[in-house]
Amino acid sequence: MNMSAMAALAPVIPVLTIKRLTDAVPLARALVRGGLPVLEITLRTGPALEALQAITGEVEGAVVGAGTVLTGAQFDQVKRAGARFAVSPGCMPSLALAASASGLPFLPGVQTVSEAMELAERGFNLLKFFPAGAAGGLAWLKAVAAPLPEVRFCPTGGVGADTASAYLALANVACVGGSWVAPAEAVAGQDWTRIERLAAAAARLKRP
């Protein structure tokens, strides 16, 4: 499955920063039950890779990727752990080359039109717009739709339950990413019912 096909599976990609390995599987199960099967595990915590591996092995229906990929070497590392895709907050040429060499579907981060043009030239037509809220939000996405007709985006960073549907209404938005469906305090309190409810509400959001 390529990146666009994975993005089409659900309107929201939960961005998960997992601090306790034991949370990984029940957290992922709650999100998948709620209707969000595509999960991004950020590589920002000690247990991130093991969490990715555990979810991949144990949670039926989950499509798990690695987020916060910053170096080329991480592509092989996350692929070995079972990642189906990788996400980065920004992208330099060496990272794009490593992604292509690894064969792993990749959602590279961009913040400018030039970055989007360069990645489109390299064949990446679905890009993470990050940090969406701080970098221009809805107005930026609307403004680039005409000059970049081939490019679609997954805005992430500052997107929440209140703004997600406005992003998803844009024709150049394939899906959105965000941590709001798995609030840190709900994960800390192992409130999987609340997380499933938040996921179900996010899964009902409509795309054009």
The window from 1-9, 143-151, 157-165, 194-202 that contacts ligand 3PG (CB under 6 A) reads 157-165
- 154 is a site residue for ligand 3PG (CB under 6 A): no
List C-alpha distances in Å: 166 to 25, 190, 200: 31, 30, 18
- 74 is a site residue for ligand 3PG (CB under 6 A): no
- 64 is a site residue for ligand 3PG (CB under 6 A): no
- 15 is a site residue for ligand 3PG (CB under 6 A): yes
Q: Which of 74, 88, 163, 179 binds ligand 3PG (CB under 6 A)?
A: 179
Q: Which of 152, 153, 157, 168 binds ligand 3PG (CB under 6 A)?
A: 157
Q: Is 185 marked active-site?
A: no
- Which among 19, 40, 58, 121 is annotated as catalytic? 40
- 156 is a site residue for ligand 3PG (CB under 6 A): yes
Least Å distance, CB 109 to ligand 3PG, is 9
